[in-house]
C-alpha cells in the first residue's frame, strides 16, 4: 500500500509527539507538547473513526495539561510515565492512567526551576531517559541526573558547558553525551566527580548547535547528532573523535531523529526546513565495522521523503511500526500510514 | 473593533509627561512632574511596577529606551537641566548623568543602533547635544550644537540608518551620514547632518507659524522616500517628504481645533498618531493617491456597540 | 481611492473621566496595539486638580482579532499553505497557462472555509454559554457569506466554463447556498402519495424547484398532485420536459440553441394565453417558465433575498447568458426587493463585474481581512483583476500588496502565528522591511526561539534580523554576570559582531582581573578562527591558551605566548598588571624559559606601564627580570 498522509490542524505549534505504548495491540493514543504560544500544554489524543463505514481516523483530544512554558522534550521513563522538560526550567514526570486515557494526567514528580540562572529563569532544553533515570540539560550549561523512581536529583554537573546545552543522550547507564549551541559535544562519566568530560569533540566547523543526539539501537557505540545547519554527523565512539561521516542532509536544522523501533537500519529525521525523511542506514552501519570512507552526500544513502515538504518547520516525529506521527509549526499534526520497515 | 486590553494605575503624584514602551513592548516607562520615572512590566495582561527611579530634581519631560543589544538602558531628561542614563543590571542604577545644558532639557532620543550607543538631547537653552559611548575607554563623549534654535529646542528625532540614500549599499549603510531633525520655539524645523566631527545645519523647513512642539522621522521601509511629521502650536500637522533627504516638500496633514503636542509613527511607519489639547488621539494613513486620511479617532464618547460590525452580515 | 481604510471603531466607555482632562498621549506597540496615557504639557503642581490625580490610568489598547480564536487559527494555518501554493504556481504561470491549477487551489480555499464552517457549527452546538454560542453563530454568519461570495467569484472568474454559458454553474451556486424547501421536496417524493397538494408547503416547494431549475424534481412533484392526470398538468409537464437545454457538447451552436429555446418559450406563452390553465398555482408555474417579470416579483417574497432568484431568472429569460453578461439579470432581480444588506451589495457588484467594489465591500466583513487578502491575491494571480485609481493608473498590484501587508502584519502580532505572518509579508516588496522591523522586536524568551526566528529570517534573506537577534541574546547573557560569558561570546560570534564579542571579552578579562577563574575556557580553546572577529577576543583566546599551556607544564610554549601577548600591545589598560605579573612564575622556573631578548622586551613594557603596578609589585618583577637576565645572558633559551 502506498504511504497515506493525513493532517489535522490543532491550533498550536507542536514541538513533541509521542505514541503511548500499548501492550498487546496497536496503540491509538498519543501525547503532544506545544511551544511558542501564549499558553502551552501537553495533550492526550485518541484516534477515532467518524463513521463506522469510513476508514479514516481522526484524532480527538482526550485530556489537557497546561504547562508554564514551551514543552522542549518528552520521553517515557516507563510505559505509563513520561518525563517532560519545559522552557521555564522545570522537569516533570506525568503519569497517564492505563485504563482511562481521558483522566487528567497525574503529576508524579516535579523539579521546579531545576535549571536556572540564579533568580532568573532559564530553559530546560532537553532530556533523555534510561531505565527510570533522567538526564536533563539547560541553557545554564548544567546537566542533572534525576532518579525517576525516588524523585531526587542524584547528581548535578554544574557548568558542564560554558554555553547553553541543546541536546543530550544516554550512551550507557553511566554515560551521557551532550551537545551545545556551538556544536561542541562532550561525553560525561556520571560516576566521576571531576566535572570534566571524558571526551570532547566538535560536530562540525561551522559553530552551529547540535540540536539532537541519538545512538544506534543495537550498536550503542554508534552515535548520531543532528545540526542546526541540517547536517547529520556520525561517530563510532570506539574509534576516534572525528565524525566518521558528516552528511549534508536537510535544508534547515535537524529537529528530531529516530531509528525505527522494529528495524535498526531505518532512520527517520525531521527538519526546520519542513522535511521528514527516511534513511536506509544499511550501508553506513555495515561499513562501520571495517575502516570506511566518509560519506558526504545523501544521494548514495537511499533517502526517501515521507511527505511533501511543508512550508513550516517539522519539529518532531515518532514512529510505531507502520505509523509515524509528526508535529509541525503550521499548528498541525500528521499521521503517515503504511510505512514499510 | 478595538478594546482596552488592560489599564495601569500609574501611582504618579503629579502630571505624566511621557510614556515609552521598550523595544519588545514588554515594559513601559513613564515620567512625571513628581520628578520620578517609573517602569512597569506589562507582560501578558498583568502589570507590575518594576522600578521607581528617583534622581531628578524637577519635572521629567521625556524618557527613551536604548536598543536592547546595549542592555537595558533608559534615558530621561528633566526641567532640572539634566539627562540621566539609567541601567538595569539586577537593579536599576544611574549609569551616567549629563548636565551640559543651562536650561530645561526637553527631549531625548537614542540614535539608530547601527551607529552605536549615541543619545541626542535638546534644551530650552537653544542647544542640542549628542552623547556617544566610547566602548574602549568606557566613557561618554559630548558634542554640542549651540544656538540650534533661538529661545529653545522642543523636540528632536533621528533619521533611520537605512534611509533614502539608496545609492548606498545597504550593507555599508553605516557610512550613511547621521542626521537629526529638530523643532524649536523659532517656529522652525532644522535638519542637522554630521560632517567630520561636527554637526552642520543642512536644511531649515519653514511652514509653521508658532512654536514647533514635536518632530518625528518616520521609520524607513526601505523605500526611496523619507518622511518627517511635525506639529505645532499653530494647530497644524505637516508631513515633510523627500526622496534624497536634501530637498523636502510639505503637505499639511490637517489643521486641528487645538494645539497639537505630539506626533508618533507606528513601528512600521504606516500610521501616524496625532495627539493634542483636544483630548483625542487620531490615527492617520496615506492612501495610494498620496492623501492623508484619518482612519480612527480615540476619544471619549465615541463608542459604538462592539458587535455592530459583525451583525451587518 | 483604494478602499483599505476601515474605520477602527472604538468603544471608549471605559475611559476614566478625570484622568484625560489635561491631554492625551499615545505610544505604539507592535502592530495594532498602542497605549494611551494622560499627558500633560504643563507643570501645575499646586492646583487642587493635580492632587486629585490618583486615578491616572494608562490604557493598553488593541484591535480585537477574531482570527486568533483557536478554531479560526486552523483556517489561518491551512489557508497559509494554499496561499503559498498559489504564489508558487503563479511563478510558473508566467510561462504556462495554469488555469486548472488555480481552479484547484480556489476549490482548496473553499474546502478550507467549509471545514471551518463545520467546526464552528460543531462548536456552536456544543457550547452552553449563551454569549459564546452567539459569538460562534456570528462567526458562522460571516463564513457562510464568505463561502457564498468565494463560490460565485470562482464561477465568474476562475472556473473553466465551456462556451462561457454560465447557467448550470449559477444554478448550482443558488442551490448550494440557498437550499430552500429541499427537505420538503425529498419528504414528499419519498412518501410518494397522490394528493400531496394537501401538504401546506406543496406549491411553495414546486415553485422553488422551478425557480432553482430543478426541473426533474418539479415534474415529479407535480405528478403527486391529485389532478396530475388532468390536461392542464400534462400540458405543463410536457412543456417542462421539452425545454431545450444547452450543452457545449450537444453539437449545436448557441445561436441555434437560442432560436430553438425562444421557439419553445413562445409555445409556452401561447399555451398560457389559451387559458387552459385553471389552477392558479399551475398558471404561476407557467408564467415563471415564460419568464414573466410579474410572476417573479410575485414569488420573490418566498425567498430570503433577491439573489436566490438570479438562477431562475437567467434560466427562464436568457439561458444562453455568458458569464460576463450577468449584470442585467442582477439588476432585474435586485429590483424585486428592497433589502440592501452587504451581501446583496457584494453579489450585485460581482454580477456587474465591478471587482473594485467587491473588494471594497468585503473588507467590511469582520474577519480581519482574511477573505479580502486571499481572494484578492487569487484573482490577482489569475490575471482577472484590474483596478484603476481616480487618475486611471493601474493600482492592482498595489491593492493586492497592501491587503497582504495588512494581513501579514496582523499575524505578526501573535505569539505563535508570527511565522505565518512572515510568509505573507515577505511576499511583497515593502513587506520585507516591515517584517524586519517586526521580527527584531519579537520578545524572545529562549535560545530555541531565537534560533527559530533566525532560521526563519534567514529563509527570507533578512540577515540583519539574524544579527540583531543574536546581538540581543549576547547582551542578555552579558548582563547575567561573568559565568554567562560563554553564552555572550557564543551569541556574539553568531551575530558576527566585533563590538559584541569585544564587550563579552572585556567582561571576561575584567572578571578575571577581579580574581575569578577565566570563564568559558571550553569555548575559547575550540573557537579557532572565530576569535579573529575582534582584537580583545583574540587576546582572551590566546590568554586562555596560555593558561592551558601553563597548567599542562609546557612552560616554554606558555612563556613564548605570554611574551607575544605583552609585546603585541593589544591588551586593554586594566589588564596589563595581570599580564605582567603572569610572567613572574615563568621567570622563576628551574630552567629558564624566557630568553634574554624577551626579558628585555618585558622590561621595556614594564617601564612604559609601571603606573599600572604598585611599587612593590613592580620592584618584585624588576628583580625577577634582572635575575632571569643574569641566568640567560650566558646560556640563552634556544628555539625549540
Task: Note the ipTM here.
Answer: 0.95
Residues 6+ apart with CB under 8 A from C130: none
CA distance C465 to C444: 13
User: Is there a contact between C197 and C178 (Cβ–Cβ < 8 Å)?
Assistant: no
CA distance C548 to C554: 9
Report strand pairing: B72-78 vs B60-65: antiparallel
Task: Give SS3 for B188.
Answer: strand
User: Is there a contact between B262 and B157 (Cβ–Cβ < 8 Å)?
Assistant: no
Angle, helices C215-223 vs C231-242, to 10°: value is: 160
What pLDDT does A246 receive? 85
Residue B175 per-residue DSSP state: G
What pLDDT does C11 receive? 39
CA distance A172 to A92: 23
Q: What DSSP string describes C413-465?
A: TSTTTHHHHHHHHTTSHHHHHHHHHHHHTS---SHHHHHHHHHHHHHTT-HHH
Residues 6+ apart with CB under 8 A from A129: A75, A76, A77, A83, A135, A148, A170
Per-residue pLDDT averaged across A114-119, rounded?
Answer: 93
Closest CA–CA distance from residue C107 to any residue of chain A (Å): 18
How remote is the C-alpha of B295 from its chain's centroid? 22
| Average pLDDT by stretches of 10, chain B with 313 residues | 68 84 90 92 78 94 94 95 93 94 96 93 96 85 94 94 52 69 95 92 94 92 83 95 89 91 87 83 79 76 34 28
- Nearest 5°: CA angle at C279, between C273 and C285? 65
Residues 6+ apart with CB under 8 A from C481: none
Closest CA–CA distance from residue A286 to any residue of chain C (Å): 32
What pLDDT does B269 receive? 80
Report strand pairing: B2-9 vs A332-337: unpaired
The candidate with the shortest Cα–Cα distance to A246, out of A293, A185, A214, is A293
CA distance C507 to C481: 8
How remote is the C-alpha of A184 from its chain's centroid? 19
Residues 6+ apart with CB under 8 A from B212: B154, B155, B183, B184, B185, B187, B188, B189, B230, B231, B232
How remote is the C-alpha of C577 from its chain's centroid? 57
Per-residue pLDDT averaged across A49-69, rounded?
Answer: 87
Using a pLDDT cut of 70, give the percent of chain A over it. Answer: 93
User: Is there a contact between C401 and C426 (Cβ–Cβ < 8 Å)?
Assistant: no
What would the grid cell of residue C228 be?
396530475
Instruction: Give the nearest partner residue to C77 out of A123, A125, A332, using CB atoms.
Output: A332
The candidate with the shortest Cα–Cα distance to A178, out of A154, A200, A156, is A200
User: Can you name the residues that pair with A84 across neighbouring β-strands?
Assistant: A74, A92
What is the per-residue burial (b if ≥16 Cβ within 10 Å, else e) of B95-132?
A: bbebebbeebbbbbbbbbbeeebbbbbbbbbbbbbbbb
Per-residue pLDDT averaged across A123-141, rounded?
Answer: 96
Residue C374 per-residue DSSP state: H
What pLDDT does A290 receive? 47
Sheet of A152-157, strand order: A124-130, A133-138, A143-147, A152-157
pLDDT in tens, B63-105: 999 999 999 999 999 999 999 999 998 889 999 999 999 999 9
User: Is there a contact between C97 and C70 (Cβ–Cβ < 8 Å)?
Assistant: no
What would the grid cell of residue C66 be?
477574531
**Sign of the C-alpha dihedral computed for residues B184, B186, B190 and B195 taken in this order:** negative
Task: Give SS3 for C353.
Answer: coil
Residues of B whose CB is below 8 A from C410 = none
- Nearest 5°: CA angle at C461, between C458 and C467? 60
Task: Give SS3 for A10.
Answer: coil
Q: Nearest chain C residue to A122 by CA: give it.
A: C446
pLDDT at A104 over 80: yes
Q: Verify whether the Cβ–Cβ distance A205 to C528 is below 8 Å.
A: yes
What pLDDT does A285 receive? 60
What would the grid cell of residue C4 be?
483599505
Sheet of A81-86, strand order: A71-78, A81-86, A91-95, A106-111
Instruction: Give the nearest partner residue to C389 out of B289, B302, B312, using CB atoms.
Output: B289
Residues of C whose CB is below 8 A from A10 = 74
Q: Nearest chain B residue to C442 by CA: give it.
A: B24
Report strand pairing: B292-298 vs B188-195: unpaired
Q: Nearest chain A residue to C520 by CA: give it.
A: A162
Q: Nearest chain C residue to B224 by CA: give it.
A: C430
CA distance C5 to B293: 8
What would the grid cell of residue C476 be?
542578555
Q: Verify whether the Cβ–Cβ distance B24 to C441 is below 8 Å.
A: yes
CA distance C346 to C156: 13
Touching C: B residues 216-275, CB under 8 Å: 219-223, 261-262, 264-268, 273, 275
User: Is there a contact between C52 and C45 (Cβ–Cβ < 8 Å)?
Assistant: no
Best probe of the C interface among A181, A198, A204, A205, by most C CBs < 10 A, is A181
Sheet of A57-67, strand order: A13-19, A29-35, A40-49, A57-67
Task: Give SS3 for B122.
Answer: strand
What pLDDT does C13 receive? 41
Instruction: Give the nearest partner residue to C63 out of B2, B221, B288, using CB atoms.
Output: B2
Regions of chain C where pLDDT drops below 50: 1-19, 44-54
Q: Verify whether the Cβ–Cβ distance B135 to C37 is below 8 Å.
A: no
CA distance C592 to C628: 7
What would the grid cell of residue C215 be?
426541473
CB count in 10 Å sphere of residue A318 = 20
Sheet of A332-337, strand order: A4-9, A332-337, A323-328, A314-320
What pLDDT does A240 receive? 66
Task: Give SS3 for B234.
Answer: coil
What pLDDT does C12 receive? 43
User: Is there a contact between C342 and C361 (Cβ–Cβ < 8 Å)?
Assistant: yes
Amino acid at each position: 500500500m502506498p504511504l497515506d498522509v493525513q493532517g489535522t490542524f490543532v491550533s498550536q505549534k507542536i514541538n513533541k509527539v509521542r505514541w503511548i505504548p500499548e501492550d498487546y495491540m496497536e496503540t491509538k493514543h498519543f501525547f503532544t507538547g506545544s511551544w511558542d504560544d501564549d499558553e502551552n500544554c501537553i495533550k492526550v489524543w485518541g484516534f477515532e473513526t467518524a463513521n463506522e463505514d469510513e476508514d479514516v481516523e481522526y484524532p480527538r483530544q482526550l485530556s489537557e495539561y497546561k504547562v508554564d512554558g514551551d514543552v522542549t522534550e518528552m520521553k517515557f521513563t516507563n510505559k505509563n510515565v513520561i518525563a517532560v522538560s519545559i522552557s521555564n526550567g522545570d522537569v516533570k514526570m506525568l503519569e497517564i492512567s492505563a485504563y482511562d486515557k481521558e483522566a487528567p494526567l497525574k503529576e508524579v514528580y516535579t523539579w521546579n526551576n531545576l535549571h536556572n540562572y540564579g533568580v532568573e529563569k532559564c530553559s530546560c532544553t532537553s532530556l533523555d531517559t534510561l531505565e527510570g533515570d533522567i538526564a536533563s540539560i539547560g541553557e545554564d550549561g548544567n546537566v542533572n541526573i534525576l532518579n525517576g523512581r525516588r524523585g531526587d536529583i542524584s547528581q548535578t554537573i554544574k557548568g558542564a558547558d560554558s554555553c547553553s546545552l541543546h541536546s543530550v543522550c544516554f550512551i550507557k547507564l553511566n554515560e551521557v553525551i551532550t551537545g551545545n549551541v556551538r556544536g561542541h559535544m562532550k561525553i560525561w562519566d556520571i560516576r566521576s566527580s571531576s566535572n570534566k568530560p571524558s571526551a570532547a569533540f566538535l560536530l562540525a566547523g561551522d559553530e552551529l548547535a547540535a540540536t539532537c543526539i541519538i545512538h544506534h539501537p543495537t550498536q550503542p557505540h554508534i552515535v548520531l547528532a543532528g545540526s542546526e545547519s541540517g547536517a547529520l554527523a556520525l561517530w563510532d565512539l570506539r574509534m576516534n573523535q572525528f565524525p566518521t561521516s558528516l552528511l549534508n542532509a536537510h535544508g534547515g536544522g535537524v529537529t528530531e531523529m529516530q531509528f525505527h523501533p522494529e528495524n535498526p537500519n531505518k532512520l527517520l529525521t525531521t527538519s526546520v526546513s519542513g522535511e521528514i525523511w527516511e534513511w536506509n542506514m544499511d550501508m553506513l552501519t555495515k561499513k562501520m565495522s571495517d575502516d570506511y570512507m566518509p560519506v558526504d552526500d545523501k544521494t548514495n544513502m537511499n533517502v526517501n521523503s515521507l511527505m511533501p515538504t511543508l512550508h513550516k518547520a517539522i519539529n518532531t516525529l515518532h514512529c510505531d511500526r507502520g505509523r509515524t506521527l509528526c508535529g509541525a509549526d503550521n499548528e498541525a499534526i500528521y499521521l503517515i500510514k503504511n510505512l514499510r520497515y | 473593533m478595538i478594546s482596552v486590553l488592560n489599564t495601569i494605575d500609574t501611582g504618579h503624584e503629579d502630571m505624566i509627561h511621557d510614556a515609552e514602551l521598550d523595544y519588545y513592548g514588554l515594559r513601559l516607562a513613564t515620567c512625571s512632574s513628581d520628578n520620578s520615572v517609573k517602569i512597569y512590566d506589562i507582560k501578558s495582561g498583568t502589570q507590575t511596577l518594576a522600578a521607581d527611579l528617583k534622581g531628578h530634581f524637577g519635572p521629567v519631560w521625556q524618557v527613551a529606551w536604548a536598543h536592547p543589544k546595549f542592555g537595558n538602558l533608559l534615558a530621561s531628561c528633566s526641567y532640572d537641566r539634566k539627562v540621566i542614563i539609567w541601567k538595569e543590571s539586577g537593579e536599576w542604577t544611574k549609569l551616567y548623568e549629563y548636565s551640559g545644558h543651562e536650561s530645561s532639557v526637553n527631549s531625548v532620543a537614542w540614535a539608530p543602533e547601527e551607529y552605536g550607543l549615541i543619545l541626542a538631547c535638546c534644551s530650552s537653552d537653544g542647544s542640542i547635544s549628542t552623547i556617544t559611548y566610547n566602548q574602549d575607554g568606557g566613557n561618554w563623549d559630548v558634542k554640542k550644537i549651540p544656538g540650534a534654535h533661538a529661545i529653545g529646542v522642543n523636540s528632536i528625532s533621528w533619521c533611520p540608518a537605512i534611509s533614502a540614500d539608496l545609492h548606498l549599499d545597504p550593507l555599508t549603510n553605516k557610512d550613511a551620514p547621521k542626521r537629526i531633525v529638530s523643532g524649536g520655539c523659532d517656529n522652525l524645523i532644522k535638519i542637522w547632518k554630521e560632517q567630520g566631527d561636527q554637526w552642520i545645519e543642512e536644511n531649515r523647513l519653514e511652514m509653521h507659524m508658532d512654536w514647533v512642539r514635536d518632530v518625528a522621522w518616520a521609520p524607513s521601509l526601505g523605500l526611496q522616500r523619507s518622511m518627517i511629521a511635525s506639529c505645532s502650536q499653530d494647530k497644524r500637522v505637516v508631513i515633510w517628504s523627500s526622496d534624497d533627504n536634501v530637498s523636502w516638500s510639505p503637505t499639511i496633514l490637517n489643521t486641528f481645533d487645538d494645539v497639537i503636542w505630539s506626533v508618533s509613527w507606528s513601528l512600521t511607519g504606516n500610521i501616524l498618531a496625532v495627539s493634542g489639547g483636544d483630548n483625542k488621539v487620531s490615527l492617520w494613513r496615506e492612501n495610494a493617491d498620496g492623501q492623508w486620511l484619518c482612519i480612527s479617532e480615540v476619544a471619549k464618547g465615541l463608542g459604538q456597540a462592539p458587535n455592530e460590525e459583525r451583525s451587518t452580515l | 481611492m483604494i478602499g483599505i481604510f476601515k474605520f477602527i471603531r472604538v468603544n471608549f466607555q471605559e475611559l476614566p473621566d478625570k484622568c484625560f482632562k489635561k491631554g492625551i498621549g499615545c505610544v505604539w506597540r507592535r502592530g495594532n496595539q498602542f497605549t494611551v496615557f494622560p499627558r500633560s504639557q504643563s507643570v501645575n503642581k499646586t492646583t487642587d486638580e493635580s492632587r486629585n490625580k490618583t486615578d491616572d490610568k494608562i490604557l493598553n489598547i488593541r484591535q480585537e482579532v477574531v482570527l486568533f480564536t483557536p478554531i479560526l487559527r486552523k483556517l489561518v494555518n491551512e489557508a497559509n499553505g494554499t496561499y503559498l501554493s498559489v504564489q508558487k504556481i503563479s511563478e510558473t504561470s508566467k510561462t504556462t497557462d495554469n488555469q486548472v491549477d488555480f481552479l484547484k487551489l480556489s476549490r482548496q480555499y473553499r474546502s478550507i472555509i467549509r471545514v471551518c464552517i463545520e467546526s464552528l457549527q460543531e462548536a456552536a452546538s456544543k457550547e452552553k454559554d449563551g454569549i459564546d454560542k452567539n459569538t460562534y453563530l456570528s462567526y458562522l454568519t460571516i463564513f457562510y457569506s464568505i463561502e457564498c461570495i468565494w463560490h460565485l467569484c470562482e464561477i465568474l472568474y476562475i472556473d473553466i466554463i465551456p462556451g462561457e454559458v454560465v447557467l448550470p454553474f449559477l444554478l448550482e451556486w443558488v442551490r448550494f447556498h440557498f437550499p430552500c424547501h429541499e427537505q420538503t421536496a425529498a419528504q414528499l417524493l419519498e412518501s410518494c402519495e397522490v394528493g400531496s397538494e394537501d401538504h401546506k408547503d406543496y406549491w411553495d416547494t414546486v415553485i422553488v424547484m422551478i425557480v432553482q431549475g430543478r426541473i426533474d424534481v418539479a415534474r415529479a412533484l407535480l405528478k403527486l398532485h391529485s389532478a396530475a392526470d388532468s390536461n392542464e398538468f400534462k400540458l405543463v409537464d410536457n412543456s417542462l420536459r421539452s425545454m431545450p437545454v444547452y450543452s457545449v457538447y450537444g453539437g449545436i451552436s448557441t445561436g441555434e440553441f437560442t432560436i430553438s429555446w425562444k421557439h419553445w418559450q413562445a409555445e409556452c406563452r401561447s399555451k398560457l394565453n389559451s387559458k387552459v390553465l385553471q389552477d392558479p398555482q399551475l398558471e404561476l408555474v407557467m408564467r415563471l417558465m415564460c419568464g414573466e417579470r410579474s410572476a417573479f416579483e410575485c414569488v420573490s417574497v418566498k425567498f430570503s433575498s433577491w439573489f436566490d432568484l438570479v438562477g431562475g431568472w437567467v434560466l427562464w429569460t436568457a439561458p444562453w447568458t455568458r458569464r460576463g453578461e450577468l449584470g442585467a439579470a442582477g439588476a432585474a432581480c435586485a429590483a424585486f426587493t428592497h433589502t440592501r444588506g452587504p451581501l446583496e451589495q457584494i453579489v450585485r457588484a460581482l454580477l456587474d463585474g465591478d471587482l473594485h467594489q467587491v473588494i471594497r465591500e468585503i473588507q467590511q466583513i469582520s474577519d480581519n481581512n482574511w477573505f479580502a487578502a486571499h481572494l484578492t491575491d487569487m484573482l490577482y494571480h489569475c490575471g482577472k483583476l484590474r483596478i484603476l485609481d481616480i487618475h486611471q493608473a493601474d493600482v492592482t498590484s498595489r491593492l493586492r500588496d497592501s491587503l497582504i501587508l495588512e494581513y501579514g502584519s496582523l499575524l505578526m502580532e501573535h505569539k505563535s502565528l508570527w511565522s505565518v505572518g512572515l510568509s505573507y509579508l515577505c511576499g511583497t516588496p515593502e513587506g520585507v522591511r516591515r517584517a524586519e522591523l517586526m521580527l527584531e522586536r519579537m520578545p524572545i524568551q529562549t535560545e530555541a526561539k531565537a534560533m527559530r526566528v533566525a532560521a526563519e529570517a534567514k529563509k527570507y534573506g533578512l540577515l540583519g534580523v539574524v544579527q540583531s537577534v543574536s546581538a540581543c541574546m549576547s547582551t542578555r547573557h552579558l548582563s547575567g554576570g561573568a559565568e554567562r560569558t560563554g553564552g555572550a561570546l557564543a551569541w556574539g560570534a553568531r551575530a558576527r559582531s566585533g563590538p559584541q564579542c569585544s564587550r563579552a571579552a572585556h567582561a571576561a578579562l575584567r572578571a578575571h582581573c577581579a580574581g575569578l577563574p577565566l570563564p568559558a575556557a571550553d569555548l575559547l580553546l575550540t573557537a579557532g578562527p572565530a576569535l579573529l572577529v575582534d582584537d580583545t577576543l583574540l587576546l582572551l583566546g590566546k590568554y586562555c591558551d596560555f593558561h592551558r599551556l601553563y597548567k599542562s607544564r609546557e612552560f616554554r610554549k606558555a612563556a613564548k605566548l605570554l611574551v607575544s601577548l605583552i609585546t603585541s600591545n593589544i591588551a586593554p589598560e586594566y589588564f596589563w598588571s595581570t599580564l605582567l605579573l603572569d610572567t613572574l612564575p615563568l621567570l622563576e622556573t628551574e630552567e629558564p624559559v624566557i630568553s634574554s631578548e624577551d626579558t628585555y622586551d618585558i622590561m621595556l613594557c614594564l617601564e612604559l606601564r609601571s603606573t599600572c603596578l604598585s611599587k612593590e609589585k613592580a620592584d618584585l618583577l624588576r628583580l625577577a627580570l634582572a635575575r632571569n637576565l643574569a641566568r640567560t645572558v650566558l646560556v640563552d633559551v634556544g628555539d625549540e
